[in-house]
Structure 1
């Protein structure tokens, strides 16, 4: 992640309509029924989702390939209805001595079974999976192994409910005709994508050329890849209704500003979900992170007054709507060797997984389709221990100068 800018950065106005109606409020019962993030998935040494990512994974290395295989195996075995793809590119870097470094972006999509790809609007949940090349052996637990595992959990948490919803729509004749006509039911053409980007980190020092390798390549490719002539969405880029980017998550007491006015509505939905999950005693971090993570800046001048360079930049510059979930200030472990599994605040990690799954369920309109699991999820049943290091406390917006 990279430098902070005030809004002097040239940003295009959104090219696609803001989908502010893409939301269904979830009942307390549904929030309680969402699968509970567990040690089985998030233990730093044995967790099925997180532990395989807690290794150095610099682009083009064996560690990077291992993590890619982890993603592929997860969707193939746990979520077989999701369609997986990769997008490949190469580039020289300031440290590669002229050699081309491979970058591989991985994404998995789940769309309504009756919908053609060019007619689907998606919530795209994003994290980068590469780790910084220096210092040698750097893990990058918050940056961004945890966000990757959180997105895997969210996908798994809603998958069965999404299947039930789409089958219900089919039976009731609400599935549309496959051409973008949902017979008045706008979510008949609403899908989801999990996107893991490669090459976010700079190899030497952050510049427009030495950063965001995978994101720059993918945004360009999707912009230039058209859908079929009769599609409602002209290209792959225009299929993104919201680009939700998670980064630097897993330290305690984060504070998440609202960075963009056009997606403040989505920020507000996430803030409301956080508040409700706390009130319903489903958050584990009530001791280590007692204050709300999402907050309104104190003044109009502070609100939407900053930008952090990250993987959203190439998409934002092409008019894609972005919700950037990244703490300000950054965690104190940012870009140092202590950004490893031992320095994560695990109650906070699990709460991010639960909150992200709830946001995805709300976006996909899964109220009434989440069935109770055994045991019913209840984050309040587990006591959070204050045993790990975390983020710098405070509500100030004074940030480090680069990510």
Structure 2
């Protein structure tokens, strides 16, 4: 351990750009950081590869298939032991191996903390499942979470020491990805933008319906760009065709981060009417680019970084009327769009990684 630096461990299933933002911020804050990823490839996300020389990285396996729960628990405990850290922050409390490791670490004098973005209102809760989650959280001393609704959910599950700051990104990195910002784009032709995996919870079929209504009422000057891929792509393309807007919708597929930033800099608003969204990190990306956001109240980000009627709109995920009204407020009034764009840029700092570091430090005392 380098002299004068407090050792700390952070663990995720796999590292993507948002994890590197948080890891780098912790290392830059002066901690001797060991970063543990369970596998070298995520089971869910196709992250862009990254690396950093600011901290020590430990990868426990090439794939999840190599790790039974006892093996995973043993590897986590061994990696923590080598780090000499007392404070250990772990995601995936629901993994049996992580639960076993947290229990062992707590029993041997370490201080494990959970990292969680979930809220009670993410979906219909069952009492028996929530009781099980309460058990899985027993080994933890506290949690860093995404939003105030997450804090309340943790307290409902019996974990009293919970602080916000988990869901954050490096605003500096986001703004440096494409430094040649597109300042002068015709406001009348800026597209509406979706950046999401094409899965049911993102509610993109609803977005297409609202966009069709917008086009019917306001003409074809604006397009809808959809960045992302997933199992619903062909179904959504067929829906756009059925709605008569296929010529106005661009399905661009999975795009590199720099292309996402470029799209945000020349769009009118980000649309995120998810029916389930623990937080919605893409909201921070949009704000950092000065892009107003129209997001459903299901998004945890609406608790933290979205100010309704200031830098965007918070709408009900099942209300075509609310979504259309928000799109028209931005899409038909250039003064409103510019005012919200300026407020979006100014508010992005509330989602910066410095709040992640501050949350960790509040928990560690």
What is the TM-score normalised by the length of structure 1? 0.23
Query: Relative to total residues, which structure has the larger helix share, 1 or 2?
Result: 2
Higher-Rg structure is: 2
What is the TM-score normalised by the length of structure 2? 0.25
